[in-house]
Amino acid sequence: MNEETPGSVLVTSRGPRLLAGASGRRGVVLSTASTVIVIAALAAIFLLAPGSRQVRHTFLNPADMWHALLGDPRHGYYSVGEALWLNIRMFLAAEVLILILALAVAVIRQSTGPVMLPLRVISTVYVDVARGVPLILIIYALGYGLPALSLRFVSSQSAAVYGVAALVISYSAYVSEVYRAGINSVHQSQVAAARSLGLSHWASLRFVILPQAVRNIIPPLLNDFISLQKDTALVGVLGAIEANKAAELYSDTTFNYSSYVVAAILFLILTIPLARFTDHLIARDRGRRLAGGAR
């Protein structure tokens, strides 16, 4: 982060590569100048717009932002900052479960032989369905459907638990495909070498293929987790007081939307480090591959 110019935060999604195009001091001056001009132009458009005052009042009101961040139980609204803690916990729980479930699904789909066929079919159908159905519908289905079943343990969980379950179901389908791509990225000759030592299919997978596959998929995996962090906000529809829901409650009470901006900023604070870290890994990987290729 340190070695980048201030403007680079604006181009996070494509990362430091964009700056790399600007070679030498002249390049830095040019890119800084153009960044400043673009920002100034956008700011000017925003400030000079006819409704600017109104928008700034309803969306960017410092006092409202401060209140929303801290919350005030006496006035009936929650702290967006505190609610974010629920997002973080849901994210962490979902992440661990996704890594496990997705790996199982990927390994089953990679398996061969008739014994695994039923599981293979189930996994394939699962991935197709879970990827095809919008996450929000899965959240509704679990959040309202499971309690309605009146089962003993299953139906008495909190909204956050159903939300995490929905996130796990949806994301594991995507992540299993990432794993699968990783497994396929390991060359067949590695399988041959492992099997030729007498290692079973599973042992080859465990000791030879997966360790190499995981290395290859860390960047795409982190990408999915960035998006998972944000999608924890969807669980608010079940009534769980996460950051977005807390912001909604605030605006319902005060008719001011600045609380949403607070939630947005907090989500950014969560996701940007992960995004930077992903870029860093990708760059390092590229560097290694170039160095390796020169051998």
> Mind spelling out the 3-state secondary structure of 173-195?
HHHHHHHHHHHHHCCHHHHHHHH
DSSP assignments along 107-141, one per residue:
HHHH--SGGGHHHHHHHHHHHHHHHHS-HHHHHHH
Residue 292 touching other proteins (CB under 8 A): yes
> CA 17: distance to chain centroid?
21
CB of 295 to other proteins, least distance (A): 7
Residue with smaller CB distance to other proteins, 213 or 243 = 213
Among 34, 155, 200, 227, binds other proteins (CB under 8 A): 200
Q: How far is the CB of 195 from other proteins (least distance, A)?
A: 6
Q: Which two tokens stand for residue 276?
A: 């930077």
Closer of 119 and 203 to other proteins (Cβ): 203
Q: Is 293 in the site for other proteins (CB under 8 A)?
A: no
Distance CA 176, CA 119 (A): 14
**Site for other proteins (CB under 8 A): which residue of 193, 265, 269, 281?**
193
Binding to other proteins by residue 295, rule CB under 8 A? yes
Residues 203-232 that bind other proteins (CB under 8 A): 203, 207-208, 211-212, 215
How would you classify residue 242: left for phi > 0, otherwise alpha for psi between -120 and 50, otherwise beta?
beta
User: Which candidate, 274, 286, 258, places its Cα nearest to that of 63?
Assistant: 258
We find the least distance from the C-beta atom of residue 205 to other proteins, in angstroms, to be 12
Q: Which stretch binds other proteins (CB under 8 A): 90-98, 202-210, 260-268, 272-280?
A: 202-210
Tokens 């000017």 belong to 44
CB of 199 to other proteins, least distance (A): 6
Q: Which of 2, 23, 150, 189 binds other proteins (CB under 8 A)?
A: 189
By CB under 8 A, is residue 76 in contact with other proteins? Answer: no
In the list 196, 255, 290, 294, the residue contacting other proteins (rule: CB under 8 A) is 196
Q: Is the distance from CB of 123 to CB of 108 less than 8 angstroms?
A: yes
> Is residue 199 a contact residue for other proteins (CB under 8 A)?
yes
Q: Name the β-bridge partners of 77.
A: 72
Q: How many residues bind to other proteins according to rule CB under 8 A?
A: 19
Of the residues 40, 125, 197, 269, which one makes contact with other proteins according to CB under 8 A: 197
The answer to whether 228 and 95 have CB atoms below 8 angstroms apart is: yes
Residue among 144 and 207 whose Cβ is closer to other proteins: 207
Query: Applying CB under 8 A, which of residues 12, 111, 157, 190 lies at the interface with other proteins?
Result: 190
Question: How far is it, in rounded angstroms, from Cα 214 to Cα 90?
Answer: 23
The residue length of the chain stands at 295
175 Rama class: left (phi>0) / alpha (psi -120 to 50) / beta = alpha
Nearest approach, Cβ of residue 191 and other proteins (Å): 9
- Tell me which amino acid residue 175 is: V
For tokens 């916990």, the residue is 89
Among residues 90, 103, 167, 194, the one that binds other proteins under rule CB under 8 A: 194
Contact residues for other proteins, defined by CB under 8 A: 189-190, 192-200, 203, 207-208, 211-212, 215, 292, 295
